[in-house]
Amino acid sequence: MNITPLDILYKYYGYTSFRKGQESIINSIINKKDVLAIMPTGGGKSICYQVPALYLDGVTIVISPLISLMKDQVDALKTMGIEAELINSSLSANEYNLVLENIKNDKYKIIYVAPERLDSLDFINLIKYKNISQVAIDEAHCVSQWGHDFRVSYKRIPYFINSLETRPIVTAFTATASDEVREDIESVLNLNNPDIYITGFDRENLSINVVKSSSKNRYLLDYIENHKNESGIIYASTRKEVESIHEGLSKKKYSVSKYHAGLSTEIRKENQENFINDDIKIMVATNAFGMGIDKPNIRWVIHYNMPQSIENYYQEIGRAGRDGEDSECILLFAPGDIHTQKYLVEVSIENSDRKRVQYKKLQQMVDLVYSNMCYRKTILNYFGDSLENDCNNCSNCLNEGEVVDKTLDAQMVISCIARMKRGYGATMIIDVLRGSKNKKVLELGFDSLSTYGIMKKYSNEDLKTFINTLVSHGFLDIVENIGMRGSYPTIRLNEQSLKVIKKEIKVEFKEAKVTKSRYVENELYERLINIRSEIAKTEGVAPYMVFGDATLRNMASLYATTKDEMMNISGVGEIKYQKYGKLFENEIKLYLVEKNIDKDSLLNKYDEEKTNTIKDNEYFEVKTDKNLHEKLKEFRLNVSKVEGTLPYMILSGNTLKEISGRYPLDEEQLKDISGIGPVKINKYGEEIIDIVKTYVNENNIVPKWEDKKRLKLILDGDNRKNDEIVLDLLNQGQNIKDVCEEIEVSVSTALGYIYDYIKQGQNIKFDIDIKSMYKENEKEMILDAIDRFGDEKISYIKKVLPDFVKYESIRAIILEKYIDSL
């Protein structure tokens, strides 16, 4: 067969390259290997089994528990001209018999089957003698009792596979799998020496924002007003909360629907289809919603309440940005969320062991919310993944918003609680501070306290939010009390409270910023959306199955009016162009005529403007002040000795060079320096600014500050990346350890650069003593781990090896193995 997987990807899907990890998985499958692939939600799992299905002779059976997802997948395949069908409980008897007849006549290339239907003797007797090339199991974690969504029906999959005349390739896919779950999947499904891929859980296009200091309602309304033209999901913990949010948004005339288990099956189905088809923009739902949603243009996901676990959270935010476009994930947190989730654990789980596991997962979620580290790093670390640098795309890294000094207000609250003598709930404290005439307040004599009524300026809701914010930042404690009528929380003072009263510490919060929508009004784009909607309604499919939003935006911005121009747009494959291309071309031509637009001159002008912009503004050049740089290096060295870590782990050499060349004199300016986020500014910022100020004063330097913003930094006229510098120095004959010390990267990282360079077909001009970088007794166990997990997921290989095996040794053996294979 001359056709390649990449040819299939372009012909049917319209993409010219695979996403991270997809190609290796596909190559394993077409080479007849069983596969277990752990990929993030939205990471492109379906392509990993669909492309091999089209490449291999025979039929692929996909086992999936999600009825709505099966329908979406099959509809999407049909729009691409691929013969596909599904078998699940949604089929009538006549429809089911027709599908069996078509299977008998070898009509289908891909068949989606619900696991419960694998017991059907009609289906088994018909399929067992067919040429089954692959059985793909989606949501494979459902096979494990340790998974978060265990299903008994998944236990029957091995019996179905064994019933086939010839064993096919068996592939298993899941978005979340701990070590126990992964071992269960391999064992229960009887995978035959599978290639295991863990492609990394990072979804770089998703920004992660945890909001702890604002009113949830106010933030939600402000956000939706700014993003009302975009598709989004609001998750809430309970049906009651869903109903309340939905009612509030409906009254304000937003395009909104709802989804929870209390609604009938018909209403849930109708609401879900309206959302998928872009007939409504916002879905308010419990976490039951979304498991079967493959809608690619969800631009934001808001959690109105904290989820029960990091697995749940990451799976739910994974429904945003499946088209690869930038999308936002916002968690609105209040301490009461913890009590809600504890209650849900108590009432929904009886088994004490499972309850203990769930409480542990809940605590890990709470730890994430309160973490001051990069949220993405914390999440990836939870899944056994790693991130070398902070992501600069989460609220802990960016920490945007205006700093507001709330010390005086905090002292009022703390003083009031102290004068009330014992712990009370937030409602009573708020009543006293706002001067309520509540009978209980008067009976207890709280109207005689000096703090009675001193915070009347706060509304009830704002004061409740402020007290919750004090709790979430550790200035107050919540104590859970167990009484005859159940548990109830009271608020108590702690050590931090006393420091606030004594003016030893300040209470400063950053006001959470509500982002602006990226949605831009564009008449041509809107007209193309209307064309897409008409096609989708005619064919009975979701609009994104015709073309994605990004594809339409590219058509509109490039004024694509020819086949060549259309086929150069990502998402326009040969099959889809034949079906739909002319309709969109004609609409664009009509628009150009109506608006009297000269396409060629307009695009030429745009190219010139783009070139000039790049010429004038793309780079931000900084020249190192070597004397100041040395002082900063000395400071860094001293800090590294105190903290017991390598100097470049404190701050990179390039960060120090940039500081020395730009002379930041306050915290706001320091924030514009690459590689120093809010956590490091909090730890080292004051001393760095003192060093810079002292230096400029002693040397009579008057700094002229300019904001770098998002421009590309060029240090000392060198715009090479680290990997290019390392390879250049090695090619010049320098020793690898000297190079690593100079550039401040680990030997492991440098070996990774060399591996990538050779893999791209480049030749190295230097010798490297690879054998000196590992011990012989390590080699066999590292090679075994590489064979089991592949060579792409270094952090996972490291995790399954003994602690004494270094990253450097793993990288060295991977490099040696690859060189030997050439």
Structural fold of domain 403-510:
Arc Repressor Mutant, subunit A (1.10.10)
Q: What's the pTM value of the predicted model, to 2 decimals?
A: 0.60
Would you give the end-to-end CA distance of the chain in angstroms? 25
Which range, of 225-239, 508-522, 738-752, averages the lowest pLDDT? 508-522
The yes-or-no answer to whether 403-510 and 523-617 have a common fold is: no
What pLDDT band is residue 403 in, cutting at 50, 70 and 90?
low
What residues pair up with 1 in beta bridges, in sequence order?
A: none
Whether residue 565 is predicted with pLDDT greater than 90 in this model: the reply is no
| SS3 call for 713 | strand
For the domain spanning 206-398, the CATH number is: 3.40.50.300
Task: Please check the confidence at residue 243 and state whether its pLDDT lies above 90.
Answer: yes
Q: Please state the rounded mean pLDDT for residues 338-356.
A: 80
- The pLDDT value recorded for residue 610 is 44
Asked if 775 and 786 touch (Cβ cutoff 8 Å), the reply is: no
Residue spans of alpha helices (H) in 60-106: 67-79, 93-104
**Domain coordinates in residue numbering, the chain:** 5-198, 206-398, 403-510, 523-617, 620-715, 722-821
Q: What is the pLDDT of residue 611?
A: 43
Least confident among 130-134, 138-142, 643-647: 643-647
- For residue 218, pLDDT over 90 is answered with no
What pLDDT does 428 receive?
93
Mean per-residue pLDDT, 98-112:
94
For 70-84, 144-158, 208-222, which range has the lowest pLDDT when averaged over its residues? 144-158
Report how far apart, in Å, the C-alpha atoms of 449 and of each of 416, 433, 453 are.
8, 10, 9
Of 204-213, 481-490, 573-582, the poorest mean pLDDT is in 481-490
Better-predicted residue by pLDDT, 736 or 645: 736
| Closest among 497, 477, 498 to 423, alpha carbons compared | 477
Instruction: Using the CB atoms, write b or e for 380-415: b if 16+ within 10 Å.
Output: bebbbbbbeebbebbbbbbbebeeeebeebbbbbbb
> Could you tell me which residue, 762 or 472, shows the higher pLDDT?
762
CA angle 564, 566, 572 (to 5 degrees): 125
User: How does the average pLDDT of the chain come out, rounded?
Assistant: 85
Residues forming beta bridges with residue 482, ordered by sequence position:
487
Looking at domain 523-617, its CATH superfamily turns out to be HRDC domain (1.10.150.80)
pLDDT of 348 higher than 80: no
> What does the pLDDT read at residue 486?
43
Is pLDDT at 217 greater than 50 in this prediction? yes
pLDDT for residue 647 is more than 50: yes
Instruction: Say if residue 616's pLDDT is above 50.
Output: no
Round to whole Å and give the CA distance between 103 and 105.
5
CATH 3.40.50.970, applies to 620-715: no
Q: Can you list the alpha helix ranges (DSSP code H) found in 502-561? A: 523-539, 549-558
**pLDDT of 292 over the 80 cut:** no
Residue (of 25, 26, 21) closest to 4 by Cα position: 26
Is pLDDT larger for residue 280 or for residue 677? 280
504-547 pLDDT tens trace = 888 887 666 666 665 555 788 889 999 999 998 898 888 888 99
Which of 399, 404, 350, 353 has the alpha carbon at shortest distance from 374? 399
User: For residue 664, which phi and psi values (nearest 5 degrees)?
Assistant: -65, 130
By DSSP bridging, strand 35-38 and strand 195-198 are parallel
**Is the confidence at residue 615, as pLDDT, over 50?**
no
Instruction: Give the residue carrying structure tokens 């004490």.
Output: 352
pLDDT in tens, 456-488: 888 887 888 788 778 767 788 877 665 444 456
Please write down the long-range contacts of 310-315, taking CB distance under 8 Å and 24 or more positions apart. 310/361, 310/364, 310/365, 310/368, 310/379, 310/382, 311/148, 311/176, 311/361, 312/148, 312/287, 313/365, 313/368, 313/379, 314/40, 314/41, 314/176, 314/201, 314/379, 314/383, 315/41, 315/175, 315/176
Nearest 5°: the CA angle 425, 430, 434 is 160
Write down the CATH number for the domain with range 5-198: 3.40.50.300
The first and second tokens of residue 640, run together, are: 């590294």
